[in-house]
Every structure is written in structure tokens, then in C-alpha cells.
Amino acid sequence: MKYHIVPFGCQMNRSDAERVRTVLESMGFVEAADENDPQIAIKGIIACSVRQKAIDRVYGRILKWNKAKAEKPLITFVSGCVLPADKKKFLKLFDLVFPMDTLPELPQMIRDYGVAIPMNRNPPEGVDLQKEQLKTGGAAALALDSKNRIEEFWKLSPHYASDWEAYVPIQNGCDKFCTYCAVPYTRGREVSRPSQDILAEVHSLVEKGYKSITLLGQNVNSYGLDKKGEEKSFPQLMKAIGELGMESGKEFWVFFTSPHPRDITNELLEVMAAYPVLANWVHFPLQSGDDEVLERMNRRHSMERYREVMGDIRRILPGVSVFTDIIVGFSGETEEQFNHTVDAMREFCYDMAFIAQYSPRPGAKSADWPDDVPKAEKERRFHLLGDELTQAAAPRNLQRVGTIERVLVTGKDRKDGYYSGYTQGRIPVRVSAQGAQLGEFCDVEVVSARPLSIEGVPVHSGGREDGNA
């Protein structure tokens, strides 16, 4: 029998899906690549509550799946980032609704549920579906507190989606409560994963030959703050991974995302500078370049502080790539405040910016505030910032033409005869396939550049693989 999982949203959800795969495969289920495979007996969604659109997609999927149930038995489940209001509705639509940290109980939930799924998901009169779910799915797990549950969840070894790139969760939840974000309400407060488990997972990935490892958390660089005095701090964890890299003698790159500017310290940057496996890449979210907007977002740092940290990043990590996240059209954002974000974009010269048009996230504090920047104006600000980004990044990529870059080759490119990959600074690279190998590092001579990416030809000691000089 087969299963199919649909993860929506961020890398954390994709990483969670890898552990869901492990559990289902331990029960003898095999993954179906095609959602319409007739042998599928279990279908699940890892939901994302970042925007209403993402939740609407969950409803779209389950309504379709429930129609198919008239033809054959099927168990459906949903987990991931789910707000209490959606959970109530999901309980009427899905067979199983469970928080991710009760995943170790999934086999029992499925066994208790059985394969003879009732066609009609309207609960029989007098049956409280939520209580039923707790009886079947969560009884043992509920005996544990949420901190212990997430630690049990992390102990599951993931079924990695790739043989060369892996995500390693190091922390769950967030204590920052930015007003536009629902994560503290869907994933709860910060819990740091035990460092010895993280180091064991990284060690095993390195031994298996993984080349790119990304440490994941909602607020990754506040790692250890919830266990002060008993657990490593984030810089100490990074140092231990750096040492592990030196001892292994293997080449691999370690990234981390997403950090919060308040928790980036010089100690961390100095550790990054000291160990070659720690990538020369910093994801440094700006969100807004205006102090008043930052305050309304509850980011709890000023532009002065951001500028100071950016100075430290560029000083301690020469040649570093810096990526950012920006929201345009936040509740109450004036033209003048937006212009401060444009100024910041020009000043900080990011290599990449993930720009989002603000939309209220149900469950987040700002969802109660007016969404008062018109759609057309958000679009205008979005495109204007996008243009600023390409103008700032293009010259740096052009300067790379003619240089040699180390690249990890990660997939097939859309263009025939080419692979795609990235540098240690996460600059996307199109690599001519001749002389390159999927899942391996190679040196490429950069032959052309676009504003946000470069193209290269593999080189070896005798010259370029395409035979050109």
C-alpha cells in the first residue's frame, strides 16, 4: 500500500515531512510520487498558516480527497502549522488531525482508525470528534509535556528527500511574537533540540557524504536560550560543527536559517569566519527599513542596531553573501516609511531579498489591524524594491565573470545540457553538464552573469571542460 504527503510552506515543514515519511515507511507503506496513484491508502498534508491562501489550499485538497473516498477507502491526515480555529474545522474534514510533536503516535492512530474509513465524515450524533481524536491519537503523547514530545519527535530519523542536501531541525517554536506572524501560536514557544542529537545527526550526514546541511529553526540563532546554563549557545553549537568538519576531513557546507537580527552576535560571526565548513552566507531579515514600522512589527531592534550588525557581518566575514526578507505594505506603512526601506535596500546591497506583499495572517496580532495599503500600491512597492535588488546585486555577479567559483551541483537545469547548483554564498549557478556531477562539488569558470545568478563551465587542472580557453 502507498502513501502521499503534501508539505506546504517553509523548509521546516519539508523537514517535518521527512520524519512523517520515516514513520509511514516503518509501517510498510511506500511513497507514491503521483497523488492520483490508485494504490494510495493514506494521504496527508503538512499545513502552513503563514497566509490564508496556504490554508485555502489545504481545504481545496481535502475536499477533493473526500470526494474520492466514495470510490475507495482512504485515510487522510493533517499536521504542521495549524491555528486552533482551523483545527476545529479540520477535525470535521480529515480522519486524523495531530500536532507534529505527536508524530511517534501516528502508527497507533492509524491502527486504531483502521482502513475501513467511514465514507461520511460527519461525526455520528453525540460523538465529539476532538475527543475521539485524542483517544485514538494522542493519549500516550499527551502524557508527555510539549518539550518532551518535540524531543521524542526529533529522535525519529528522517527519510531525507535528497542524497546530498539535508535539513537538520535544531529548534522549534518562537518567543519573539512579531505582530505579523502566527508561528508562536501554531508551533508554540522555543524549544532547543539537545546538541548531542544535532551533532550526531550532522556527523552521520557527513559520513554518508552529504554536501550541504542546513540547520533549521523558526528563530535559529536564539538556540540554547531556553536552556541557558545547561545547553550550548548557538555560537558554541556552530563551533562544535566546525570542529566536526575539521576532524572529518570532508568537504561540506553548513547553512542556518532563519535568524533574528537581535540574536546575531560577533561571537557567532567569528566562529563562522574560523571554520571553512560554516558557509559564508548570512540570512539577515530586514522586514522594514523604518523604525516606526519595525516597532509596530515588534521586531525589537532599531535601524541603528541593524546597521551596526550589518557592519560587523561585512567586517568579520569578507566576501559574505547576505540575503534578506522584506514585507511591503504592512498595516499603516506610509509612502515615507516605505522609502526608508528603499534607502535600506540601496545601502545594504543584498545578494537576494525575499520580498512579500503584506497580507494579514490569521491568528497574528496584526490581523486585527487595518490592512490599509491598497493592493495596487503593494504591487508597486513590491516591483520597485525588486528593481532595487537587481540593480544592487547585478554588478557583483558581473564581477564574478572570469573568476573560478566552487559550486555544489544539486539538480537538472531547465535548459538541456545544464545542471543547477549554488556557491557557498547561495548564489544560484547554471553549470554546463560536461565535467559536472550531480551531488558533487566542482570548480567552474564563470562565463556569464544575470542580475541574481551566474553561469559557469567546469574546470579541471588542464583547463575548461568545454575545451575553450
Residues that bind ligand SF4 in the complex, under the rule CB under 6 A: 174, 176-178, 181, 183-184, 218-219, 260
Q: How far is the CB of 190 from ligand SF4 (least distance, A)?
A: 9
Between residues 76 and 171, which has the closer beta carbon with respect to ligand SF4?
171
Q: How far is the CB of 60 from ligand SF4 (least distance, A)?
A: 25
Alpha-carbon gap, residue 448 to 454, rounded angstroms: 6
Between residues 15 and 218, which has the closer beta carbon with respect to ligand SF4?
218
Contacts of residue 126, defined as CB under 8 A and 6 or more positions apart, other chains included, come to none
Between residues 242 and 360, which has the closer beta carbon with respect to ligand SF4?
360
Q: How far is the CB of 12 from ligand SF4 (least distance, A)?
A: 10
Are 298 and 177 in contact by the 8 Å Cβ rule? The answer is yes
Between residues 91 and 178, which has the closer beta carbon with respect to ligand SF4?
178
The gap between the terminal CA atoms of the chain, to the nearest Å, is: 55
Beta-bridged to residue 91, according to DSSP, are none
3-state helix, strand, coil in the chain (%, to 5): 40, 20, 40
Q: How far is the CB of 331 from ligand SF4 (least distance, A)?
A: 15
Between residues 178 and 352, which has the closer beta carbon with respect to ligand SF4?
178
Three-state SS across 277-336?
CECCEEECCCECCCHHHHHHCCCCCCHHHHHHHHHHHHHHCCCCEEEEEEEECCCCCCHH
Q: Please state whether the peptide bond connecting residue 258 to the residue before it is cis, i.e. omega within 30 degrees of 0.
A: yes
Alpha-carbon gap, residue 283 to 392, rounded angstroms: 17
C-alpha cell at 231: 545547553
Q: How far is the CB of 358 from ligand SF4 (least distance, A)?
A: 13
Among left, alpha and beta (phi > 0; psi -120 to 50; other), residue 186 is alpha
Between residues 257 and 423, which has the closer beta carbon with respect to ligand SF4?
257
Q: How far is the CB of 178 from ligand SF4 (least distance, A)?
A: 3
Between residues 13 and 423, which has the closer beta carbon with respect to ligand SF4?
13
Between residues 22 and 298, which has the closer beta carbon with respect to ligand SF4?
298
Are 421 and 446 in contact by the 8 Å Cβ rule? The answer is no
**Upper half-sphere CA count for residue 459 (Cβ side, 13 Å):** 18
Are 25 and 31 in contact by the 8 Å Cβ rule? The answer is yes
Q: How far is the CB of 50 from ligand SF4 (least distance, A)?
A: 9
Of 261, 245, 95, 256, which Cα lies nearest the Cα of 178? 261
Between residues 15 and 410, which has the closer beta carbon with respect to ligand SF4?
15
C-alpha distance from residue 242 to each of 85, 246, 303 (Å): 43, 6, 31
Beta-bridged to residue 31, according to DSSP, are 3
Q: How far is the CB of 294 from ligand SF4 (least distance, A)?
A: 12
Q: How far is the CB of 260 from ligand SF4 (least distance, A)?
A: 5
> What's the chain's Rg over C-alpha atoms?
23
Q: How far is the CB of 429 from ligand SF4 (least distance, A)?
A: 29
Between residues 177 and 418, which has the closer beta carbon with respect to ligand SF4?
177
